[in-house]
């Protein structure tokens, strides 16, 4: 299609004849634009100075702009509060400073337009948002950058995708960066048009995680960017009572948040305002990890996180869960497995979670689509929000924690253990050693059909935390891998150990320590609550040994499920 600058093309004139403006046929006049439809006026120069708490993400922004110049169109997807709008602003600022001769349009796509339908030509839509004259149709030829935030709202506007974006070629004309909360235009455009739907290649897509194609590009903050954010946040809290997390605590927080923008800001603010850690601020001392952990593992911390508005945007609400039992069951599965797969068909719990940003779509190592929580903290908060099972724990079937744990082991899957788990929280690939603990959680849900287990349980005494607990039964489960620090874990349950207070106060009545490993242990310990679960090299079977290295009757060469 040949487009003449400043002149309406024929197909736009034909559209105008069939879609007259209801108010005085005024489509060619200056557009009506509500203030809530435009986030940033087109070509208004982005401020050169950022708020002091912003990390500038220079390497990420530079890499993103380089990719846009190579690919012409790039789609950035992430759940709410992952920093999409901030990254869009940083990109506009970067390009305006680096290449001042380029036109930069930074627009926010609205839910609807005044007097413009979903079939309107793209030039009308963009001119409306950019406050340009409606008779201009030069977008394809503009030597510049078009940034569209909230681009998921544009998917049903077929002309934008089929008449503009589809025809942009690398190296010439307009470049486009699309920031979306979910999905792609291909399916929706196909519904609205007889044309072949646009599909962007994987090298044009950026998501939560880094990929082999884009090792320096993702929405989540890198390790260095996270450290920069921590430094800036700490500086903003002032010098009278400085907030100084220790190096070990900073690393733990990065693991909790995986660099998720809102989660990172959330945990830093909660810890900085915590009365439990105020003594360190008063004395200008670094906050040790061990002290912070005692607070982080409490319900009080989780409730504070749920009250942090930006972070909570990526979480389902209690009100929604109360009305939708099917959604509760689905999220129980997601929490127990770390991820879910399937078809997000309209009306399904998966589609609801996907569109609302409670789960993020990512490609796994085998190129299949899986849906994950945006960060480990999102998963933990979702687990906290899920209602307690209405049906009592089936104690008649599993009278002891040992009997229950052995039944859980019978549900282990060789496939899950024999390969790297597809993806976990925030799309971060899981190492093999984490699979044992994940599989215990998944298998227990598979066995019981309900989420009786609580992960990272800390009790009421705040003396530590264990991997799993069944609070209703006062049972706790601790897992180790390949005999990792067994003495340290054993001592926690003994007379002077940090778990002993739970036992003395009857908060815990039964406990078990499971050592998942690939080789038969040699050291005899004489402890009746320690068991070694030894897997075959190919994870086809396992045998359980007691703490004296003797095979537990009935638990030898048990075949794993596939």
Q: Is the pLDDT of residue 95 over 60?
A: yes
Do 331 and 316 touch, CB atoms closer than 8 A? Answer: yes
| pLDDT tier at 365, thresholds 50, 70, 90 | low
Q: Does position 120 have pLDDT exceeding 60, yes or no?
A: yes
- How do beta strands 339-340 and 369-372 pair? antiparallel
Q: List the one residue out of 364, 388, 386, 361 whose CA is nearest residue 373.
A: 361
User: What value does the mean pLDDT take over residues 26-36?
Assistant: 33
pTM over 0.85: no
Alpha helices in 193-260 (DSSP H): 223-236, 247-257
| 96-110, 417-431, 462-476: segment of lowest average pLDDT | 417-431
Decide which of 391 and 20 is more confident.
Answer: 391
Tell the burial category of 64 from Cβ atoms under 10 Å away from its Cβ (0-12, 13-18, 19+): buried
Whether pLDDT at 434 is above 70: no
44 pLDDT above the threshold of 60: no
pLDDT at 170 over 50: yes
Residue 464 pLDDT level (bands cut at 50, 70, 90)? low
β-strand pairing of 510-517 with 530-535: parallel
Confidence of residue 425 (pLDDT cuts 50, 70, 90): low
pLDDT of res. 197: 56
Going by DSSP bridges, is the β-strand pair 369-372/360-363 parallel, antiparallel, or unpaired?
Answer: antiparallel
Residue 547 pLDDT exceeds 50: yes
pLDDT of residue 534 exceeding 80, the answer is yes
pLDDT band at 507 (very low <50, low <70, confident <90, very high): confident
Spell out a b/e string for 270-298, using b for 16 or more CB atoms within 10 Å of the CB, else e: bbbebebbeebbeeeeebebebbbbbbbb
What is the pLDDT at residue 187? 55
């Amino acid at each position: 299609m040949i487009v003449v600058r400043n002149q309406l093309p024929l197909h736009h004139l034909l559209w105008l004849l069939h879609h007259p403006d209801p108010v005085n046929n005024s489509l060619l006049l200056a557009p009506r634009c509500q203030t809530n439809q435009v986030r940033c006026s087109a070509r208004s120069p982005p401020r050169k100075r950022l708020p002091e708490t912003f990390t500038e993400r220079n390497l990420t922004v530079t890499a993103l702009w380089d990719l846009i110049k190579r690919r012409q169109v790039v789609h950035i997807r992430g759940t709410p509060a992952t920093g999409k709008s901030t990254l869009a602003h940083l990109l506009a600022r970067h390009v305006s400073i680096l290449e001042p001769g380029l036109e930069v349009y930074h627009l926010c796509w609205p839910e609807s337009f005044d007097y413009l339908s979903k079939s309107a030509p793209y030039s009308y839509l963009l001119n409306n948002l950019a406050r340009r004259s409606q008779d201009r149709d030069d977008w394809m030829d503009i030597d510049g950058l078009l940034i569209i935030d909230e681009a998921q709202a544009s998917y049903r506007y077929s002309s934008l995708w089929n008449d503009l974006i589809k025809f942009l070629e690398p190296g010439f004309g307009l470049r486009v960066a699309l920031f979306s909360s979910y999905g792609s235009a291909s399916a929706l455009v196909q519904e609205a048009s007889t044309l072949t739907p646009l599909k962007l290649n994987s090298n044009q897509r950026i998501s939560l995680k880094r990929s082999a194609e884009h090792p320096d590009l993702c929405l989540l903050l890198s390790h260095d960017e996270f450290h920069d954010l921590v430094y800036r946040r700490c500086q903003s809290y002032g010098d009278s009572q400085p907030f100084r997390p220790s190096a070990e605590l900073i690393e733990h927080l990065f693991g909790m948040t995986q660099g998720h923008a809102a989660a990172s800001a959330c945990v830093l603010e909660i810890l900085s305002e915590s009365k439990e850690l105020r003594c360190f601020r008063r004395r200008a001392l670094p906050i040790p990890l061990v002290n912070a952990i005692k607070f982080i593992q409490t319900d009080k911390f989780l409730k504070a996180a749920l009250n942090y508005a930006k972070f909570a945007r990526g979480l389902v609400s209690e009100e929604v869960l109360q009305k939708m039992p099917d959604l509760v069951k689905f999220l129980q599965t997601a929490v127990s497995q770390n991820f879910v797969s399937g078809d997000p068909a309209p009306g399904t719990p998966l589609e609801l979670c996907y569109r609302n940003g409670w789960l993020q779509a990512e490609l796994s190592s085998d190129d299949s689509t899986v849906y994950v929580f945006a960060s480990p903290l999102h998963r933990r908060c979702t687990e906290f929000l899920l209602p307690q099972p209405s049906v009592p724990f089936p104690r008649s079937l599993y009278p002891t924690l040992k009997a229950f744990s052995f039944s859980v082991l019978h549900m282990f899957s060789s496939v899950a253990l024999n390969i790297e788990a597809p993806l976990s929280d925030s799309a971060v690939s899981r190492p093999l050693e984490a699979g044992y603990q994940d599989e215990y959680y998944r298998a227990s849900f598979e066995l019981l059909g309900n989420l009786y287990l609580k992960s990272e349980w800390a009790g009421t005494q705040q003396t530590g935390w264990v991997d799993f607990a069944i609070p209703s039964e006062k049972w706790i489960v601790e897992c180790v891998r390949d005999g990792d620090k067994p003495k340290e874990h054993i001592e926690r349950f003994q007379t002077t150990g940090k778990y002993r207070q739970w036992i003395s106060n009857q908060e815990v009545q039964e406990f078990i320590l499971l050592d998942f490993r690939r080789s038969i242990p040699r050291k005899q310990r004489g402890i009746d609550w320690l068991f070694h679960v030894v897997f075959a090299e190919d994870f086809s079977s396992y045998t359980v040994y007691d703490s004296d290295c003797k095979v537990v009757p009935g638990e030898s060469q048990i075949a794993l499920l596939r």
